[in-house]
Amino acid sequence: MRALNIGFVLVAAFLMAFDLVVSELAMRAYGADSLTMAAAPTIVGGVMLVAYAFRKDRCFLIDPRGSDWMELGGNVVFGALGALLTFDSVARIGAGKAMLLGSNTTEAIFIIVLSFLLLKERLSKMEGVGCLVILAGATIITFNPSSLAFELGLGELEILLASLSYAVSVVCAADLVRRVEPTKFVAVSGFLQGVILMIFLLLVGSIGGNSPEVLFIIILTGVLSGIAFLLYAMGLKGIGASLTSVVYSFVGIFSLMIGALFIWAMPGLELVFPPSPLLASIGSAIAIAGVYLLNKYKAK
């Protein structure tokens, strides 16, 4: 059963990687905007996850008189901001590099640091080592061997800010998530993030002006996101947050592999790759090792 749950999370990471590569194609080749690509899949995935999480028990208890609403609100707002920054970064530097730098790698560092500073959680020595290992991996990912320089442009900054935003989202609800069923919390949070992004989209633009190709991609990515969210939730319930975080970190490597397959099958596609995919993959493997250390040696 453990192997099956790990498989669920791996498939979720693969589907999300495919989702992001296709979204990159829509933004770069067909002119779709990052807000549209962030909003539509998020709300579709949220609806599917809500239907799954509440299929038997529709109760979701939070205290309306306490800080629960503020914690949930902070989680939702910063989560939505992270999604928007992620898709804009994908449009600039490509899904592969964005996911290698972001996803559960640098985000893990921000969560540890914010938990230490704001929640007064203890930081073990091995967690410190894990953070350094992730930083080393991220540094390798940004290195351009042809110019012997590190690349840190707007796209790289956006994905790092997205990781910070996701980390703030997690820390905001750290206490609340201990008191509610995790799958239900992820479902409600994901759905509300989609609602916020969709409202923002309706205020500043319209999906009606997109080409048929973009509309098809929006539907496709929405369904894939929903399936990925469902599998992630099923794996999370079976193997816990720590192992889920490590396994899901493979989304970056999957993004590189899928992008390479797309270009091999259809030469000329407008997809962006890191200057050295091999070096980026090595950096990602090092970062994943750092995530493993963070989760294995948590301070008690």
DSSP 207: G
**Cβ neighbours, 10 Å, residue 107:** 26
Closest CA to 251 of 232, 274, 234: 232
Which residues have a Cβ under 8 Å from the Cβ of 226 and sit 6 or more positions away? 44, 45, 47, 48, 49
Residue 278 vs residues 53, 77, 94, 143, 282: alpha-carbon distances, Å: 39, 36, 15, 11, 6
Res. 2: pLDDT tops 90: no
Res. 171: pLDDT tops 80: yes
pLDDT band at 297 (very low <50, low <70, confident <90, very high): low
Give the integer Cα–Cα distance in Å for 225 and 229: 6
Average pLDDT over every residue of 6-23: 90
Rounded percentage of the chain residues whose pLDDT exceeds 70: 89
* 3-state secondary structure (DSSP) of residue 144: strand
Output the pLDDT for position 43: 82
Give the integer Cα–Cα distance in Å for 203 and 200: 5
pLDDT in tens, 123-152: 677 777 877 888 888 888 877 777 667 777
Average pLDDT over every residue of 75-83: 91
Contact 241, 7 (CB under 8 A): no
Average pLDDT over every residue of 112-122: 75
Output the pLDDT for position 104: 61
Give the integer Cα–Cα distance in Å for 151 and 73: 34
Which residues have a Cβ under 8 Å from the Cβ of 100 and sit 6 or more positions away? 141, 252, 253, 255, 256, 274, 280, 281, 283, 284, 287
Number of domains in the chain: 1
Contact 79, 141 (CB under 8 A): no
Output the pLDDT for position 161: 93
Res. 78: pLDDT tops 90: yes
Phi then psi dihedrals of residue 266, to 5 deg: -135, 80
pLDDT in tens, 228-264: 877 887 777 777 766 777 788 888 888 888 888 888 8
Output the pLDDT for position 286: 84
Give the integer Cα–Cα distance in Å for 36 and 40: 6
Contact 279, 126 (CB under 8 A): no
Domain of residue 266, residue span: 2-296
